[in-house]
């Protein structure tokens, strides 16, 4: 069984190797969807740690970018467990950042968390014209 506190700690410490190892071992045990959602929650708890360390000045923007990528990779590993079929979709979200905004960190984190919650996410990317966003 996955040690959820250890997973949260590994995410918070940005220990990519440990996070990937824990999640791959976890998925190999054929856990339930409920257990998969607990793993997602543990990853979210780790992201809270990352945010706190950033606010304290112990982590920097590069660490936030890496944390976002780590979370995206984690959700990808967990997809077979948490479900990603059409029958499990609870809604659709159109996502993108407006023209002039070249930042995608928060958008990508939100996308990962939304997909983990069962939403279909149509990601238009960054720096999108208003007309494109409204049309979609």
Read off the DSSP letter of residue 65: H
The closest of 89, 82, 83 to 36, measured between CA atoms, is 82
- Distance separating the N- and C-terminal Cα atoms of the chain: 42
Q: What is the pLDDT of residues 61-109, one digit of tens each?
A: 899 989 989 998 999 999 899 875 445 678 999 999 888 887 777 888 8
Longest dimension (CA), the chain: 48
Picking from 132, 65, 122, 68, the residue whose alpha carbon sits closest to that of residue 99 is: 132
According to DSSP, the residues that pair with 95 across neighbouring strands are 123
Q: pLDDT tens digits for 4-50?
A: 999 999 999 999 999 999 999 999 999 999 999 999 999 999 999 99
Distance in angstroms (rounded) separating the CA atoms of residues 67 and 131? 31
Do residues 26 and 40 make contact, with C-beta atoms less than 8 angstroms apart?
Answer: no
- Hey, where are the domains in the chain? 1-82, 84-136
Which CATH architecture does the domain made up of 1-82 adopt? Orthogonal Bundle (1.10)
Which CATH code fits 84-136? 3.40.50.280
């Amino acid at each position: 069984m996955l040690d959820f506190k250890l997973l949260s700690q590994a995410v918070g410490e940005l220990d990519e190797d440990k996070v990937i190892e824990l999640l791959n071992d976890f998925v190999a045990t054929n856990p339930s969807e409920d257990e998969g959602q607990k793993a997602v929650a543990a990853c979210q708890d780790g992201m809270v740690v990352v945010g706190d360390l950033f606010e304290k000045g112990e982590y920097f923007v590069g660490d936030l970018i890496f944390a976002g990528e780590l979370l995206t990779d984690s959700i990808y590993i967990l997809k077979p467990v948490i479900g990603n079929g059409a029958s499990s979709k609870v809604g659709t979200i159109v996502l993108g950042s407006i023209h002039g905004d070249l930042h995608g960190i928060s958008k990508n984190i939100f996308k990962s968390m939304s997909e983990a919650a069962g939403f279909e996410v149509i990601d238009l990317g960054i720096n999108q014209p208003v007309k494109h966003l409204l049309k979609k």
